[in-house]
């Protein structure tokens, strides 16, 4: 797998934002995708990394 399918990435990001645990993410998002074992593992690791290091929020700073 060279890249995670965009729709699967969006679902993982949404699950992480909703606070789902890895078991829930795996059963509700990753398993239904029907990936090959190697791809499943890669996506699982991506989800784990997203849970451990969520995206930083961007704040617009206006100076004047």
CB 50 within 8 A of CB 12: yes
Q: Kindly report, residue by residue over 10-61, the tens digit of the pLDDT.
A: 999 999 999 999 999 999 999 999 999 999 999 999 999 998 876 666 777 7
| pTM attached to this predicted model | 0.76
Of the pLDDT bands very low, low, confident and very high (cuts 50, 70, 90), residue 1 is low
Residue 10 lies in a domain: yes
The total domain count for the chain is 1
Compute the distance between CA of residue 12 and CA of residue 24 in angstroms, rounded to an integer.
11
Residue 60 lies in a domain: no
Residue 26 lies in a domain: yes
Q: Give residue 23's domain range.
A: 6-52
Compute the distance between CA of residue 12 and CA of residue 17 in angstroms, rounded to an integer.
9
Is the pLDDT at 64 greater than 80? The verdict is no
CB 16 within 8 A of CB 47: yes
């Amino acid at each position: 797998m060279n890249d995670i399918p965009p729709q699967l990435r969006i679902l993982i990001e949404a699950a992480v934002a909703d606070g789902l645990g890895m078991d829930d993410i795996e059963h509700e998002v990753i398993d239904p995708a029907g990936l090959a074992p190697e791809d499943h593992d890669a996506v699982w690791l991506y989800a784990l990394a997203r849970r451990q290091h969520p995206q930083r929020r961007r704040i617009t700073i206006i100076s004047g």
